[in-house]
Structure formats: structure tokens, C-alpha cells
Structure 1
Amino acid sequence: MPKVGREKSNRIHKEIARQGIFFKTEIGQHILKNPLIVQNIVEKAALRPTDVVLEIGSGTGNMTMKMLDKAKKVIACEIDSRMVAELQKRVMGTPVQSKLQILVGDVLKINLPFFDLCVANIPYQISSPLVFKLLLHRPIFRCAVLMFQREFAERLVAKAGDKHYCRLSVNTQLLARVDMLMKVGKNNFRPPPKVESNVVRIEPRNPPPPINYKEWDGLTRIAFVRKNKMLSAAFKQTSVTAMMEKNYKLHCSLNNTPLPENFDIKEKINNVLLINNVADLRARTMDIDDFVKVLHAFNKEGFHFV
């Protein structure tokens, strides 16, 4: 590291040490320090005076304080008790103290209360499970404005045929509209992460699509194991045919339907794909309507994915 860079790094480290806060990068603590970006994120969230806002990973409260000025209430979820103490100290004796509620713990393990919006610079290692925890939360919230690692954000918004298109893309877009809002460079954080970041807006579909999400997830899991291969190849995997046969036999048993003579699971799966003209489809180019068609085709014949 050049001498100037080392000196700057040492100054920042000493300043943090004076504050008594050492950020734990292993749990994703990278505090957004640029006030202009904090302000921009809060503005893009379009908070209303009646809104209850959920913030995940509030840190030292830079974004929390901005939101407390605009919202009815902010629910800050924070796992680090040192950050909780810092946030409590910042609001102590101020007019916004009564508007702040703090949930201490792991957001993935907490039963989330009602909220209108979620605005957060989240720990990147929990990105995927957090997105689906939020999207499956009820009642449905209005929107979320979240900071993600750039690669993850690109996968969230990718369309069928894009190089970043994957199971995450289609599963998220089934449940929500996703838009890229802005890029954020690593030097806007303290300490800087190793990756660049993007802010994304996620707006849940309300009402949600009339689809069993667990079944949908089971289908896309099969299809994207080999996203460049045709569906006919994906469904020939031994583990897939075994699962499909088990579920089909259970379906027949529950509905008092006798198994056909000379039952052949591979032949039956192949017939479903061929009759519905989907055998040659490839996951990387299939959009939501394509996956809905495939799911309904299998369900109609008694096949389920859970």
C-alpha cells in the first residue's frame, strides 16, 4: 500500500478506535459514510409521514436518523449490541426518540412486525434469504430499497437471456417488480468492502400471483441445475425422476387413483414435456410465463414439486 494510503487508513482506524467501535467485516459491517448517498437512498424510498419503516443492519444510525425525521416510526433490526448502544445514544433526549423501535437479533430468525417499507444497507452474506423472507412476509409491504453487492443486484434484475439470468432472477420477479436505482462505489463505506454495490428497489406484486411458491421453487431448482440444457435433459436426472415418481405415487394414493399398468415415470414425464411443446426450452431463456406453463402442465397430470 502507498504511504499516503497507509496514513489515511491509519487515521480512519485511530478515529474508529477513539469512538470505541471496531467494525466486524465478517458479519458484513461496512458503514455507509457518504451523507449524500444516504440522503439519496432515503429520497428514493419516498417515505410518507404515516410510514412504518423497517431498517436492517442500522449500524451507527446514519440512515436511521434521516428516516426518523420523515417517517412515523423506524424499526431498526441490529444484531450487534455495540451498534444498538450507539444508536440509542444518538436518539437519547431528541424529539425522534419515541419514534424508534430497536429489534436486537438476527433478522433471519426474528418474526418481523408490520411495516410499510424496508430501507437498508444489508449484510451481503444474507442477501438471498433476506429477499425471500421479505417477499413472503405478510401483510405485503409497499416497497423495499436495499443495497446489495453489485453482482447480486445484477442477478436480481436480469431478464431471460441475459448472462446474469438465473433462478434468483425468475423467483424474485415472480413475486416482485425489481428495478436498479443507483451504483455505489466501495470507497463510500467504512471500512471499504472488497466489492462494488448497487441500490435496488423491490416492489412486491399485490395481490401475489396465484401460484404455490414452494412448487415454483422446486421446478426452477430442477431447471436451473443445467440452465443451458433443454428441459428434457434436466428432467432425465436420476434424482429428479426419483423425486417426481415419489410425489406422483403420493398424489395417486391421496386421490384413490390406481397407477397405470406398466407405469414408466420417465416416459410419463417426457410425454408431459412433448405434448405441451416445452421439451426443447432452456431455463436461461425461459421467462415467467414459460415457467408458469410448465408448472401447470405437470400439475394437470398429477405431478408436484414439493
Structure 2
Amino acid sequence: MPRAEKPAKSVGAASEASQVRASNPIFNKTLGQHILKNPLVVQRIVEKADLKSTDTVLEIGPGTGNVTVRILAEAKKTIAVEMDPRMAAEIQKRIQGTPLQRKLDLIVGDFLKVDLPYFDVCISNTPYQISSALVFKLLRHRPLWRSSVLMFQREFALRLVAKPGDPLYCRLSVNVQLLAKVTHILKVGKNNFRPPPQVESSVVRFEPIQPPPPIDFNEWDGLVRILFVRKNKTLLANFKTRSILKLLEDNYKTFCALTGRPVPPDFDCKEAITQVIIDCGMLDQRASKMDQNDFLTLLNAFITAGFRFTS
């Protein structure tokens, strides 16, 4: 997945030599390092972040620092997490001795393994192999941030924003949209990068839902995981497999034991599941057509009936 870069504006004492170094780095192909050569695209990405002069910005994968310099000029502070020490060195050289130096905290390491400090806004050009993990790490972070503007592989981005009935609507769509408002804001073609990557890209904006829905996300995801195994089948069809029935029956009996609730002597797990779905009026419903309210209704009904989706 490409990293977004642009020729930086001259800020303070930033030297021309440092800009030359930044435009000609040695790239690590395994990290998906590509330069975004269109400065207008970079400008739009930063503009869509709606930065304030009081903001602390988290930038993931800053590369040589072209976007970083643009952020530093507009925000109070930038925390940049860069995995490649060579790229981190380029950023430090670029702003050394300028007024921007004091506004940057640079963390060299794997974003998925570092502890994140407080931030207001996140901007990232995300390697496709960590896209999902990155999104959910951000959405789990507390305190919640104001917005994130993230670049992804085009198909991944379209899955994030897909709605019920769309071919790309999936478990990822449902889980992310439970926690955030997600908007596709910009397509970025291959030819905007040097060298051109193999995939098209898109920029997506996230705004966390505040307060977050008062549900156990693990329970939610457990239900959604089952339903999207075969998203175009009826709900009941997804619960008929032996492994799913055993999981839910074991969880039901464990819940009863923990809460002192007697298990009916004639308890039939499949029949009980069917009754929950009927009571919700969803016997003919399919996950591919269900919205957030449908999933919430179904989850609440299952929990009320004593079913759990995590062991």
C-alpha cells in the first residue's frame, strides 16, 4: 500500500538539500513504500482532516516526512510512528534546526505494538496488510479522537463504507460502522505514485460514534461472524451447523450455571435459536440485507434468551 508523500513547502530554515534527500530515498518494497507525487492529493488529504491549531495529530507511516511537514505547519503537535529507521532519520534531518522540530515526537517502531498517547486526529497511509488491525486499534483507543483520514487499498476502503445490499457489504462493514461514521472522500489512482503500486487507493474519513454503543463488542462480533459465513443464506441456515450449535449450547449452559438459571430438562438448542429468530420477525432475513438496528435487535434477543457468542 502506498505511502502518501508530497514536495514540502519551504518552512523556516528547512534546507533545499533536505528536500532533495527526501525526494530520493531508498525504499523498502516489503513495507509498501511509494511516493505520492501529486501535491494536490496530499493537500486534499490534510484539508479533509480539518486540523486546528490546538490539535495533536497522530501520523502513521510518515515516510520521508512530506506530509508530516504539512501537518506540523497547521497543528500544535505531531506524533509520527515510523517502522523504518531510515525514513525516521530522513524526517529528523528534514526539520532539524527549524521551528518545526519542537512540534514533532517521532516513534520508531511497529504501530500495532506501540502504546498510543492522546491525539485529536489521525492521518495515515496504510500498508494494506495491516489495514484491518490498524482500524480496530484506532477505534479501541481511549480517549476517543475526533477524526481520522486514512488511505487504503481501494477494495478495502469500499468494504468499509458498503451498505446493506451492496456486493462488498461484509462483517468488516458492519463492525466498523457500529463504532464510527465512515465516508469515502477521495480516489487516488496508481499514476499519482512513483513508482506506481499494483493497486488503486482510496482515502476514507472516520468519525467515532460518541458515546460508543453500550454493548459488548466481542458478543456483537461473535454474532456477526456467524451470520456472514454465508451472508446470503437465511439467518437460521447459518445456525444449523453442528459446530455453531455446540458452541451456543455450551455457552448457554455455562451462562445458566454462572447465573443460577436452571437449564430446562427438555432444552433443544436448535429449537430455542429458531424461536429467537421468529420472535424478531427475521425468519426470512439475510445478513447481506440487515442494517445496524437489525443486528442490535437480534443480539439483544439472543442475550435476553440466555445465549452468548463468546466462550
TM-score, scaled to structure 1:
0.92
Q: Deviations over 1:17-61 (max 9, x none)?
A: 998733222222223222111111111111100000000000001
Q: Could you list the structure 1 runs, at least 4 aligned residues long, displaced by more than 6 angstroms after superposition.
A: 16-20
Q: Check if 1:88 corresponds to 2:125.
A: no
The residue type paired with residue 180 of structure 2 is A
What is the CA distance between 1:197 and its match in structure 2?
0.6
1:99 matched to which residue of 2? 103
What is the CA distance between 1:191 and its match in structure 2?
2.3
Counterpart mapping for 1:44-83 below 5 A: 44-83=48-87
1:113 matched to which residue of 2? 117
Aligned counterpart for 2:32 among listed residues 11, 28, 31: 28
Q: Deviations over 1:135-185 (max 9, x none)?
A: 111000000001111111111111100111111111111000011111111
1:265 matched to which residue of 2? 269
Q: Check if 1:295 corresponds to 2:299.
A: yes
Aligned counterpart for 1:43 among listed residues 23, 36, 47: 47
What is the CA distance between 1:106 and its match in structure 2?
0.8
The residue type paired with residue 167 of structure 2 is K
TM-score, scaled to structure 2:
0.91
Secondary structure of 1:208 counterpart: coil
Aligned counterpart for 1:136 among listed residues 133, 140, 157: 140
In the alignment, structure 2 segments of 5+ residues that lack a partner are 1-19
Q: Check if 1:167 corresponds to 2:171.
A: yes
Q: Deviations over 1:80-124 (max 9, x none)?
A: 000000111001001110000011111111111100000111111
Identical columns (%): 60
The residue type paired with residue 230 of structure 1 is T
Query: For the residues of structure 1 that align with 2:21 and 2:104, how far apart are their CA atoms?
Result: 27
Asked if the contact 2:190/2:200 (under 8 Å) is kept, the reply is: yes
Asked if the contact 1:31/1:60 (under 8 Å) is kept, the reply is: no
1:152 matched to which residue of 2? 156
Query: For the residues of structure 1 that align with 2:232 and 2:99, how far apart are their CA atoms?
Result: 57
Query: For the residues of structure 1 that align with 2:290 and 2:155, how far apart are their CA atoms?
Result: 21
Asked if the contact 2:22/2:65 (under 8 Å) is kept, the reply is: no
In the alignment, structure 1 segments of 5+ residues that lack a partner are 1-15
Query: For the residues of structure 1 that align with 2:41 and 2:253, how far apart are their CA atoms?
Result: 55
1:187 matched to which residue of 2? 191
What is the CA distance between 1:223 and its match in structure 2?
0.4
Asked if the contact 1:75/1:103 (under 8 Å) is kept, the reply is: yes
Query: For the residues of structure 2 that align with 1:18 and 1:282, how far apart are their CA atoms?
Result: 51
The residue type paired with residue 278 of structure 1 is M
The residue type paired with residue 287 of structure 1 is D
The residue type paired with residue 304 of structure 2 is K
Aligned counterpart for 1:252 among listed residues 238, 256, 268: 256
Asked if the contact 2:58/2:121 (under 8 Å) is kept, the reply is: yes
